[in-house]
Amino acid sequence: MRLLASFFLVFCALPGASPALSPWQRILRAYGLPPEDWARVEHLVGHSSLTQSLGIGLGKQTVEVRQIRDITRPELPLIWEKPEKVVAAVLSPEWTVFARERWQGAPVLAGRRVGEKVLLWTATAIGERGYERYPFLPQAMARLGVVAPARAANLTVFFDASHRLRVDVPYLVKRWRRAGISSIHVTSWQFDGASPDKSRWLSRLIEESHAQGIAVYAWLELPHVSGVFWEQHPECREKTATGADAELDWRQLVNLVNPACADLAAQSILALLRSYDWDGANLGELYFESLEGFANRSRFTPFSADAQQYFREKLQADPAEAFAESSPLRPAFVEARAELAARLQMEWLARLDQLQKERPDFDIMLTHIDDRLDTRMREALGADSARLLAATEKAGTAEAGTTFPTFLIEDPATVWHLGPERYREIRARYEGLTAQPERLAIDLNIVERYQEVYPTKQQTGGELLQLVHEAAQNFDQVALYFEASLQNEDLPLLAGAAARLKAKQGEEWELGGQAWVAVEGPQRVDGLEWPFARKGELLLTAGKHTVRAGSGTTLAVEPRNLVLQSVQQTEQGWSAVYRASTQAWLISSSPFRIRLREKEIAANQNGRGEWVVRLPRAKAGEFELLAGPSEPLPAELPLTQARN
């Protein structure tokens, strides 16, 4: 369904996210620079006496710019919606040209360093959002040495294994970790009935990911079960409203309304889930087709005999009548279809719950298309997020302290062309629908859009960074669809964009969420020796911190796949409260010990020579990191809590 194009357009006007910010400031903010650093990167536009004095002269030619090419991805056409005439510039040798007009080669984006300052020149204004004309401004900044001071490490990506079967797995996983990715959701259906080689490949992927501290989820895409299931059980094929087998795009939809077929599907899926060391399952997009809704019967599901029977009972009429324009049956049909989708979703959550009981560290997530911003999704797909959110919370209230499944909101294809501000709006539309707002997460589709969008069909550069940044400011967890569509040039910049760095003034840091911050040499955080560190970086919790150069601790432990909520110094080391949706890891280059649930655990050495301790899934788990016996802590140190 993600790959479908639709003819819908959303005309809703979204309020600007940051009316006070100029387009240039939006770029700097999305890059991860705090306002205090903005003056370091200066933007020059067109021709003036200032640009003249800096070595940008006027050429003789006037060029109409419709398309440019950037050295970041020279093969990618960067097309401007509105052409603009510019006088070709003649640049002095100090300038590096990053982008040129496509046909005449006139420079349109260049940069240079002047002392500590970075200058970026563009031939025209950069557009209202900052990326309409020069999408690779962030890459130009990176080339000129601008570094985001904070990096998030909690991104999720959807992983289509079919694109990666020949990839070097350790290389790939390492690259994910560098990009701030903490979990991947793997196309599990591709491994139903997999050959031994393919099966080993998946086991290796999971093993390697765990070794790097990355959680691996089985991504389910029901009612698609798998290609094998489709071939083996033709009697379980869902039908479209024209009576054809519901093989739509790459999905082969199964009739889950039929209890026997649902049981067969469950057997297949649970077997798959038990066969590998998954950290969780993502029950994705369990509703119906298609985005064209009633307008296209050839794609409309479910319409198997079981589904028709269900609708007939609900409507007391032939469901085919609902396709007539202005049919009075339509509202009741839409309601019955949404109810059916919710029923199936709850049934499958219950099946996955069984697995969670067997494996306590197993996490369950739901991916659900947004139907609050684009309300037509309910009619088109049967999607009803409010109903599902309420149903999952009602089911969980029996046990106190239950953590409800993370609810990953997918922005529908119909709004992919809208700007990054939409994530604030989406977030607002879900306020009040859940007792645990922290369970809300957002899923960004980084794919070619069918709409008329500029300058690129697929989000990249400044647009992608703004999307990620805006999403991360509004949701604790950001997922990106999909891993292979993320370009090499964008990957290193995502962690900076996703960081919630509110302010940084000298030694004072303010963070809206946990992030790695760049420091040089040993540091103390809020007066404490701080062990949660890796080379050149400290992991700071959300809140305000003072980071000062100091003696620091020699112990450097890197938490992976967890959120530190608070850190206190104890007589023997540090006590930390953490949150982890699945298992988590503490990794160090030196041996270390922790105390977990009253039990002292020594780190084990892995094949890379690193020392590792595994932590269990927890909403508010605690562990005590013990300083080595050779380095007793002074008894007079006050117990301090990191400010949140």
Partner 1 sequence: MRAACVLALTFAICSFPQETQGELDRAYLALRGGQLEQAADLFQSGLKKQPDHAGARIDYAYLLLRLGQTVEAREEIRIALEQEPEREALWLEYAFLCFETNQRPQGYEVFLRLRNTQDEAVRKSASDTFARIDQTLKIAIERWRREARENGGSYSVHEELARLLEERNDWVGAAEHYRIAFGLRPEKRSYLLDIARVEREALRVDYAMAALLAASRGANAWVAEQARERMTQRYPYVYEFQYAIQMDPMNVPLRRELGFLHLAMKEEREALRVFEELLRLAPEDELALAQVAFLKGSREMLAKVAEKGESNLSAVRELAKKSMDKGYLKDALEYLTQVQKADPQDYEAMLRLGWTHNMLKNDREAIKWFQLARQSSDPKVAKEADEAYRNLRPALAPFQTTSWVLPFYSSRWKEVFTYGQTKMEFRIPGLGVRPYLSSRLIADWGRNRSLVTGPGGALGPQSLSEGAVVAGAGVATPRRHGLMAWGEAGSAWRYFSRSEGGARIKPDYRAGVNFAKSFGEGGWWSTTLDAVFLSRFDNNTLFYSQNRIGQTRADGPLRFYWNVNLTMDAKRQDWANFVETGPGLRLHIAPLPKGLYFSVDYLEGWHLLPTAPGRARRFRDLRAGLWYAFTR
Shortest distance, CB of residue 342 to partner 1, whole angstroms? 27
* Type and span of the H or E element at 425: helix 422-430
Shortest distance, CB of residue 221 to partner 1, whole angstroms? 19
Residue (of 134, 12, 109, 11) closest to 56 by Cα position: 109
Residue 200 CA to residue 212 CA, distance in Å, equals 18
Shortest distance, CB of residue 47 to partner 1, whole angstroms? 8
Helices (H) and strands (E) in the chain, counts: 14, 34
Listed in sequence order, the residues at least 6 apart from 623 whose beta carbon sits closer than 8 Å to its beta carbon are 575, 576, 578, 586, 594, 595, 596, 615
Shortest distance, CB of residue 346 to partner 1, whole angstroms? 31
Residue (of 21, 29, 23, 16) closest to 421 by Cα position: 16
Shortest distance, CB of residue 293 to partner 1, whole angstroms? 12
Shortest distance, CB of residue 375 to partner 1, whole angstroms? 22
Binding flag, residue 79, partner 1 (CB under 8 A): yes
Kindly report the number of other CB atoms within 10 A of residue 611's CB atom. 18
* Type and span of the H or E element at 186: strand 181-187
Shortest distance, CB of residue 4 to partner 1, whole angstroms? 9
- Residue closer to partner 1 (CB basis): 83 or 259: 83
Shortest distance, CB of residue 452 to partner 1, whole angstroms? 6
Binding flag, residue 292, partner 1 (CB under 8 A): yes
Binding flag, residue 551, partner 1 (CB under 8 A): no
Q: Which stretch binds partner 1 (CB under 8 A): 19-27, 55-63, 279-287, 312-320?
A: 55-63
Residue 166 DSSP class:
T
Residue (of 538, 490, 549) closest to 515 by Cα position: 538
Q: Provide the phi-psi class of 628: left if phi over 0, else alpha when psi is between -120 and 50, else beta.
A: beta
Binder among 36, 81, 321, 358 for partner 1 (CB under 8 A): 81
Site for partner 1 in 209-268 (CB under 8 A): 242, 244-245, 247
- Contact pattern for partner 1 over residues 82 through 101, marking x by CB under 8 A: xx-x-x--------------
Binder among 48, 298, 375, 640 for partner 1 (CB under 8 A): 298
- Residue closer to partner 1 (CB basis): 190 or 345: 190
Residue 115, Cβ density class (10 Å: 0-12 exposed, 13-18 middle, ≥19 buried): exposed
- Contact pattern for partner 1 over residues 445 through 464, marking x by CB under 8 A: -------xxx--x-------
Binding flag, residue 62, partner 1 (CB under 8 A): yes
Binding flag, residue 484, partner 1 (CB under 8 A): yes
Shortest distance, CB of residue 160 to partner 1, whole angstroms? 11
- Contact pattern for partner 1 over residues 304 through 343, marking x by CB under 8 A: ----------------------------------------
Residue 482 CA to residue 410 CA, distance in Å, equals 12
Shortest distance, CB of residue 245 to partner 1, whole angstroms? 7
Shortest distance, CB of residue 79 to partner 1, whole angstroms? 5
Shortest distance, CB of residue 368 to partner 1, whole angstroms? 24
- Residue closer to partner 1 (CB basis): 214 or 586: 214
For 77-123, give the DSSP string: -EEEEEEEEEEEEEE-TTPEEEEEETTT--EEEEEEEETTEEEEEES
- Residue closer to partner 1 (CB basis): 177 or 544: 177
Q: How many chain residues interact with partner 1 (CB under 8 A)?
A: 43
- Contact pattern for partner 1 over residues 486 through 525, marking x by CB under 8 A: --x-------------------------------------
Binder among 16, 77, 105, 331 for partner 1 (CB under 8 A): 77
Phi, psi (rounded to 5 degrees) for 102: -65, -40
Local structure of 445: helix, strand or coil: strand
Site for partner 1 in 142-171 (CB under 8 A): 162-164, 166-168, 171
Report the half-sphere exposure of 527 (CA within 13 A, side-chain side): 9
Indicate the Cα dihedral angle 491, 492, 495, 497, nearest 10°: -80
Shortest distance, CB of residue 161 to partner 1, whole angstroms? 12
Residue 108 CA to residue 88 CA, distance in Å, equals 8
- Residue closer to partner 1 (CB basis): 493 or 538: 493
* Type and span of the H or E element at 266: helix 259-275
- Residue closer to partner 1 (CB basis): 308 or 566: 308
* Type and span of the H or E element at 264: helix 259-275
Binding flag, residue 417, partner 1 (CB under 8 A): no
Kindly report the number of other CB atoms within 10 A of residue 274's CB atom. 11
Phi, psi (rounded to 5 degrees) for 204: -70, -40
Residue 589 CA to residue 487 CA, distance in Å, equals 31
Binder among 299, 427, 429, 560 for partner 1 (CB under 8 A): 299
Residue 377 CA to residue 371 CA, distance in Å, equals 5
Listed in sequence order, the residues at least 6 apart from 126 whose beta carbon sits closer than 8 Å to its beta carbon are 23, 24, 27, 43, 45, 132, 133, 134, 137
Residue 510 CA to residue 498 CA, distance in Å, equals 15
Residue 400 CA to residue 442 CA, distance in Å, equals 26
- Residue closer to partner 1 (CB basis): 214 or 557: 214
Contact 525, 178 (CB under 8 A): no
- Residue closer to partner 1 (CB basis): 87 or 433: 87
Q: Which residue type is seen at 600?
A: E
- Residue closer to partner 1 (CB basis): 38 or 454: 454
Binding flag, residue 128, partner 1 (CB under 8 A): no
Rg (alpha carbons) of the chain, rounded to whole number: 26
Binder among 24, 80, 475, 578 for partner 1 (CB under 8 A): 80
Shortest distance, CB of residue 168 to partner 1, whole angstroms? 4
Residue 99 CA to residue 107 CA, distance in Å, equals 6
Binder among 12, 50, 58, 260 for partner 1 (CB under 8 A): 58
- Sites of contact with partner 1 (CB under 8 A): 5, 7, 47, 58-62, 66-67, 77, 79-83, 85, 87, 102, 162-164, 166-168, 171-172, 242, 244-245, 247, 292, 295-299, 452-454, 457, 484, 488
